[in-house]
Structures are given as structure tokens and as C-alpha cells.
Amino acid sequence: MSGRVFAVASGKGGVGKTTTAVNVAAAMAEADRSVVLVDYDLGMANVGQVLDVEAADATLHDVLAGDAKPLDAVASVPSGFDVVVGGTAIEDFGRADPSKLRGVADALRSEYDVTIVDTGGGLSHDTTVPLGLADETVLVSTRQAAALENTAKTRDLVERVGGSVTGLVVTRVSGSDVADDDEVAALDVKILGSIPEDSTVADSERAGEPLVAFAPESPAGQSYRELGYELLGESPPLSFRDGDGDAEPGAAMAEMMTEDVEGTESRSLLSRVTGGLLGSNGKD
Ligand SMILES: Nc1ncnc2c1ncn2[C@@H]1O[C@H](COP(=O)(O)OP(=O)(O)OP(=O)(O)O)[C@@H](O)[C@H]1O
Ligand SMILES: [Mg+2]
């Protein structure tokens, strides 16, 4: 197998890279891909904190130190994908050799449909390694001018290290459509998705679950789900946004499904039907 490798990167820190990486991984797993998420934030590895992860025999830092094989560091999460988490001890940082990441990516590429590499902030040599080896880099930014300026630098850097930018995910959006922003348009990158500001993101972190699994019907959960499918070049099978919105793509299908069961509240039925469809995809 030769799977696709995505890097998730930003210029400014704290804009939602890890949230994006985790939720894209979960959405792609829902779309029946085998997915592994690599926590390549060498200084501040934190995927293990936002997800309830089973311990593996080794950490990414062990692998990058040459003390373990890539597949020894693979752990699984209940929401249906695998993760390679980083070590969190301060001495781990000095042990890791970023140049070994390519070998890790190659090993994972041959085992998984999709490898997603979450990166740390800043523009040091270490942080640019994944951008050069990934097939596609997904940029993440808020709409803040400072964040967008740094995104432009990161976009240029990806090209300089021989990588390729797939597009931009604009996070923590409230108010008007991001397409209306001159600053976003000036970046001249494809807008892959726009994720609303949503307090459920923090709730899902506390629960140790990806938002798309924890609250699939939340605004950000829905947007992340759409983003995951978009990156795979597919449309989500069914919209969670039922209500009475005829304009929703899944509305017609939802209506067909709700016709069969009288007296069941449409929203819960939809969730159940969708969960059933997706949950059984090739897994039983
Ligand atoms: N759509 C959203 N709505 C509300 N809060 C969000 C949203 N996306 C992210 N956050 C919050 O913003 C904070 C930073 O998110 P996250 O850790 O994903 O960013 P990051 O880019 O990975 O940060 P770092 O550069 O430190 O690795 C977290 O507390 C998260 O809960
Ligand atoms: Mg992060």
C-alpha cells in the first residue's frame, strides 16, 4: 500500500492545528479509511492529552532516537484510528532526530491509507521536516491578521522545502463568510474549510474524544466532518443537519429515511441511522 501523507501546519501557534488533525483523522476513519495520526509536536506533544489513547510500547521520540521501530509506537483510540504519540518528558526533546521522520512516514505510508502529521508551531528546521516529506500540507489559521501573515510565510516555506500546499482551513470563525475576507483571499490558497468558533471543542477535549465523534451535530463537528471528506475528494454520506433545511444536501435522503418510521423524532432517528451506516462500514 502507498497511502497519502498529510501535514497540518500553521505559522502562528494555538490556531487549531491539533484540533484539525484529530478531527480530520476521525472523519477519514468514519469514511472507512485506515488512518494514523502522528503527534510531531516535538517540544509540546499533546495529542495524548486531547485523546483517550491506549499506551503503545514506544513513543515517537523513542523512534526518532533510534530506540524503537515506527510500528512499535502505534497506539489506538476508541474512535477508530491509530496514533503515534510523542514523549512528554523534557529529556525526550533532545533525543529526537527529526531527520528520522521520513523513515517513520514511509513505514506508516505502507500500512495506512492516510497518515496525518500534526506539527508544532514556529519555523525552525525541525518543524519544516514534515512539510517537505508530506504529499500535501493543510494550512490552518484563524482570521487574525497576524496569523494570516504567518500563514503566508508558511505557505512559501512549504514550497521552498519541496512540499505542496493543498489549501487553508480557517478556524474559530464567527460572523461573516471567510470568503469575504480580503486578507484570506490575498493568500491565494484554496479554502478547504471554515470551522466555526464552538465551545463544544473544549468539551470534546475534556472528554478525550474527537469532536466529530463526541458531538457530530455541533457546528464545528459538522464542519470538520465535511473537511475530512473534502480532503478525500468525497462528499459526506448524509448531513447531520436535518431540521427543516431543504437546502441541505442530505435532506432528501434524510426525508426518505424518516418516512419509514412513524412517530420517531426525526433528529434522533437521523443520528441513529447515520451512526449505524457509518459505524458498520466494513467493520462487521
Ligand atoms: N473551532 C474552535 N472553537 C473553539 N475553540 C477552539 C476551536 N478550535 C480550537 N479551539 C481551541 O483553541 C485552542 C488551541 O487549539 P489547538 O491545540 O488545536 O491549536 P494548535 O494550533 O495545535 O496549538 P499549538 O500551536 O500549541 O500546537 C484549544 O484550547 C482548543 O480547544
Ligand atoms: Mg498543537
Q: Which amino acid residue places its CA nearest to atom 24 of ligand 1?
A: 14
pLDDT tens, residue by residue, 189-233: 999 999 999 999 999 999 999 999 999 999 999 999 999 999 999
**Least confident window among 12-16, 117-121, 268-272:** 268-272
- Phi and psi, residue 117, nearest 5°: -105, 115
User: Confidence class of residue 43 from pLDDT cuts 50, 70 and 90?
Assistant: confident
**Least confident window among 18-22, 93-97, 192-196:** 93-97
The grid coordinates listed for 209 are: 474524544
Angle (CA) 23-32-15 rounded to 5° is: 15
Stretch 42-57: mean pLDDT: 89
Domain residue extents for the chain: 4-236, 237-284
User: Is the beta carbon of 33 within 6 A of some atom in ligand 1?
Assistant: no
pLDDT tens, residue by residue, 103-154: 999 999 999 999 999 998 777 778 899 999 999 999 999 999 999 999 999 9
The grid coordinates listed for 128 are: 519544516
Looking at ligand 1, which atom is closest to the CA of residue 121? 25
Looking at ligand 1, which atom is closest to the CA of residue 46? 27
Point out the ligand nearest to the CA of residue 47. 2
Stretch 250-278: mean pLDDT: 42
Q: Which of 8, 10, 18, 19 to mutate to test the pocket of ligand 1 (most atoms within 8 A of CB)?
A: 19
User: Is the beta carbon of 205 within 6 A of some atom in ligand 1?
Assistant: yes
* pLDDT at res. 239: 57
pLDDT, the chain, mean: 86
Residues whose Cβ atom is located within 5 A of ion ligand 2: 17-18
Architecture of domain 4-236: 3-Layer(aba) Sandwich (3.40)
pLDDT of residue 70 exceeding 50, the answer is yes
* pLDDT at res. 251: 46
User: Confidence class of residue 247 from pLDDT cuts 50, 70 and 90?
Assistant: very low
CB–CB of 34/74 below 8 Å? no
